[in-house]
Amino acid sequence: MNALTEQFLAESREALDEIAQKLLALEETPDDADMLTQLFRLVHTLKGNCGLFDLPEMARVLHAGEDLMSAVRNGELAFSQGIADQLLDAMDFVRILCDEMEADRQPTPDMINEALGLASALRSALGGVQRDRNAAPATGSPGTSVTTVAGHPCVPSDWLARLPASVQADAVQAAAEGSPWFWLHYTPAEECFFQGDDPLHQARLTPGLVWGGMSERAPWPTLDLLDAYRCQLNFDVLTRASAEELLSHFRYVPDQITVYAVAPAPLPLPAVETASASESTAAAARAAQALHDVLVAQHEILALPDQLQGLDGRLEATRLTLERCLLAAQRAADVPGLAHAAMQARQNQSAAPLAKWLAFSFPMGDAVVPAAPASGPDAGSRSARRNDDAGNSKTLRVEQDKIDRLMNLIGEMVVARNALPYLASRAETVYGERELAREIKSQHAVIHRISEEMQDAIMQIRMMPVSFIFQRFPRLVRDTSRRLGKEVQLLLEGEDTAADKNVIESLGDPLVHIVRNSLDHGLEAPDVRQALGKSRSGLLKIAARQDADRVLIEISDDGRGIDPEVVKRKAYQKGLIDEATLARMSDEEAIHLIFLPGFSTAEAVSDLSGRGVGMDVVRTAIERVNGTIHLRSVKGQGTVIQLSLPLSMAVSTVMTVETDGQKFGVPMNLVEETMRIPRSALRGIKQQLTAVVRGRVVPLRSLNRLLGLASEPMTNEDDLLAVLVLRIGAGLVGILVDDFHQTTDIILKPMTGVLGNLRGYSGSALMGDGSVLMVLNMGEILA
């Protein structure tokens, strides 16, 4: 199940709970207009949401519910307990559909029927208030005849006359053989063309189609009065498929079809003879229910006090009934046992032996105690359904504030924990308590482990995979590219990359903007591409990956790219830059002009993008979550937009290194290893210092040099240099530092204000001893 479905289910259940709660509250205060509005909105939202999925049944019921609620809200209908009951029933049904969806099951024909029933019940509650616009047109009733075959009315004989003679004969033959064909009368709604339906196509695809025909509802008006887009045709299909198959084929329009069975002969035979396979199972179910009812009745009779008059008669009646039940259930072998029990009962003048036999021979479980009169199967399942609700949900929806509070607390705890090693070293150096220092250290290890796990657990709660936003793109790209007449191949990568919920959510809209821009402005039309020697279909790639404490999202296309000259000129024309800037601007700077507010290169405003609100909105949205946006583009070859966002604001691990007497933090996930190498192992290749690390040549850079410090790297007492080996991108880089210190968990505070421009630092952190550690942004420093 994908994240969208999961979210839909979670939200729907929440909405259903709320609806139920509000309905119950409304029964107390039916005049609460506010509550009514809220209720309407809930139902409305739920209906809207289910439109995203293939859930015609749910939509049908909710739509009817929404209409009813709207009538109540507008004061056209008084809220009553009856309405509440109906809505509650409908919501129960929706909940079942949710369960089915979660279990990845298709709704059964019963459910399709139930949806119809519930919807029409809701609509009938609307009564005269609002004539049902979607009401099924009168389904031409088959004369006065009420004869049915296999539970369906018979096809009127004049309809059969439309069939070719041979088909007619086959149909009657099939019915006589006990597997009647069905005649499906399909009366599409008049406005169905507007909903994108093609009823002829739908009818042609009917499973088991034998014959199909169309007919007109009324004589045609003259051409100038004709509304070609109001459906005036009816469709008839003769099919070998079962009624269930038909129902599922027409599950979007179950109220527009009527299923008739073809009678075996001009004069219909009793239905029993011609029960189809599916019907016989239904018959068996009915028989089982009847047997069940009879047995419950016997239980009740036998439970009557023996002292009542007429015990013998009751016993004999029960014995006879049970004997017939046995025969009906084809258990003739059990009859002697019954006779024996009955005899014992008569001798003892007690119903107990017979009751015991009954309980033994027809075990019915606890559900059927004699005291409880058999409730109809429907009522039973319905009440069971309500009781099942509790405790089903495995997800817990918690307000984000609560989790944020946890995050803050664990952050403080990590800092507090980091004070322990300092305490240990003070105990040792200042007070000379070596033993105590050791104990503090071991306690620190324990607290460290626990807080680590806790922090991880809290992080997990907030983490979401980027697939949450990625999954909308295949559809978006497909629809958009089709609209634009372009061929686009979409490639998604790294969908598992997870980041904080806030970050992920803030990504959605900017990404949509960027993708639309790429489709609209970036990728060329197939013919243009072909002329340029590119493949006809353009490539759009959206890749996500984690890079240290950032999530990188790269949207690249192989389209026409951005022409710096065009951008510069446009910006100048729009007065966004002056002449001097225009002249000295580099290409790289020029293409970044598209992020200026009010900039748009599109010749014409299309409905997709090009209103000049695109890229600056994207930039602002990304910057709001401390993200950065970077653009690369080669004219004629394509554009790459890279979004870099923080993984989360949570705790990160850094390694502390020392150089020139200062301490710096280096993100631990970059650190490949730390090593000490003798000065003699350094080799110079041209200007570049290198060393051989585990058989590989690794370039060495001095941190002092990178930071602009004058001093040379120091060696330790054994004349060994400290090399911090980092993995940057795909390669390794050795950083020469003076000394290594411990790794620490810190809460990284990004640099703000004037310091925010120092791109060499990703932030600062408060250490356990109260000092401030600057954390290096190695990617930036080495670039």
Partner 1 sequence: MTMQFKDKKVILSGVVSVEDAETLLQWLQNHSFARVVFSDCTHVHPANLQVLRAAGVSVSAWPQDHALAKWLRSLFPEAEKID
| Cβ-based nearer residue to partner 1, 191 or 565 | 191
Could you give the CA distance from residue 65 to residue 67 in angstroms, rounded to a whole number?
5
Instruction: For the CB of residue 209, give the shortest distance to partner 1 in the complex, in Å.
Output: 8
Instruction: For the CB of residue 201, give the shortest distance to partner 1 in the complex, in Å.
Output: 6
Instruction: For the CB of residue 192, give the shortest distance to partner 1 in the complex, in Å.
Output: 9
Could you give the CA distance from residue 31 to residue 75 in angstroms, rounded to a whole number?
10
Instruction: For the CB of residue 156, give the shortest distance to partner 1 in the complex, in Å.
Output: 16
Instruction: For the CB of residue 220, give the shortest distance to partner 1 in the complex, in Å.
Output: 4
- Candidates 188, 187, 171; CA nearest to 239 is 171
| Cβ-based nearer residue to partner 1, 105 or 204 | 204
Evaluated on CA atoms 70, 76, 78, 81, the torsion sign reads negative
| Cβ-based nearer residue to partner 1, 197 or 616 | 197
The helix/strand/coil state of 182 is strand
| Cβ-based nearer residue to partner 1, 189 or 466 | 189
Residues near partner 1 (CB under 8 A) are: 162, 193, 198-201, 203-204, 211-216, 220-224, 226, 228-229, 231-233
| Cβ-based nearer residue to partner 1, 162 or 624 | 162
Could you give the CA distance from residue 412 to residue 420 in angstroms, rounded to a whole number?
14
The helix/strand/coil state of 642 is strand
Which residue spans within 135-208 are E strands per DSSP?
148-149, 152-153, 182-186
| Cβ-based nearer residue to partner 1, 28 or 216 | 216
Asked if residue 552 lies in contact with residue 494, where contact means CB atoms within 8 angstroms, the answer is: no
Look up residue 181 and give its two tokens: 């064909």
The values of phi and psi at residue 762, to 5°, are -90, -10
Query: Which ranges of 532-613 does DSSP label H, i.e. alpha helix?
Result: 564-573, 579-584, 587-591
Instruction: For the CB of residue 215, give the shortest distance to partner 1 in the complex, in Å.
Output: 7
| Cβ-based nearer residue to partner 1, 201 or 394 | 201
The set of residues, in sequence order, having a beta carbon less than 8 Å from that of 161 and lying 6+ positions away, is 168
Instruction: For the CB of residue 202, give the shortest distance to partner 1 in the complex, in Å.
Output: 10
Could you give the CA distance from residue 402 to residue 263 in angstroms, rounded to a whole number?
67
Q: H/E element holding 464?
A: strand 463-465
Could you give the CA distance from residue 724 to residue 743 in angstroms, rounded to a whole number?
13
Instruction: For the CB of residue 251, give the shortest distance to partner 1 in the complex, in Å.
Output: 20
| Cβ-based nearer residue to partner 1, 105 or 483 | 483
Q: How far apart are the first and last CA of the chain?
A: 42
Instruction: For the CB of residue 36, give the shortest distance to partner 1 in the complex, in Å.
Output: 40
Pairing mode of beta strands 638-646, 628-634: antiparallel
Instruction: For the CB of residue 520, give the shortest distance to partner 1 in the complex, in Å.
Output: 24
| Cβ-based nearer residue to partner 1, 216 or 717 | 216
Pairing mode of beta strands 772-776, 662-667: parallel
Instruction: For the CB of residue 166, give the shortest distance to partner 1 in the complex, in Å.
Output: 13
Asked if residue 713 lies in contact with residue 736, where contact means CB atoms within 8 angstroms, the answer is: yes
Task: Note the Cα 633 to chain centre separation in Å.
Answer: 35
| Cβ-based nearer residue to partner 1, 164 or 266 | 164
Could you give the CA distance from residue 638 to residue 157 in angstroms, rounded to a whole number?
68
Asked if residue 571 lies in contact with residue 616, where contact means CB atoms within 8 angstroms, the answer is: no
Instruction: For the CB of residue 189, give the shortest distance to partner 1 in the complex, in Å.
Output: 13
The set of residues, in sequence order, having a beta carbon less than 8 Å from that of 566 and lying 6+ positions away, is 601
- Candidates 377, 395, 387; CA nearest to 92 is 387
- Candidates 632, 669, 663; CA nearest to 647 is 669
User: Which amino acid belongs to residue 49?
Assistant: N
DSSP 395-446: -----HHHHHHHHHHHHHHHHHHHHHHHHHHHHHHTS--HHHHHHHHHHHHH
| Cβ-based nearer residue to partner 1, 155 or 618 | 155
Could you give the CA distance from residue 267 to residue 99 in angstroms, rounded to a whole number?
46
| Cβ-based nearer residue to partner 1, 214 or 758 | 214
| Cβ-based nearer residue to partner 1, 160 or 625 | 160
Instruction: For the CB of residue 233, give the shortest distance to partner 1 in the complex, in Å.
Output: 5
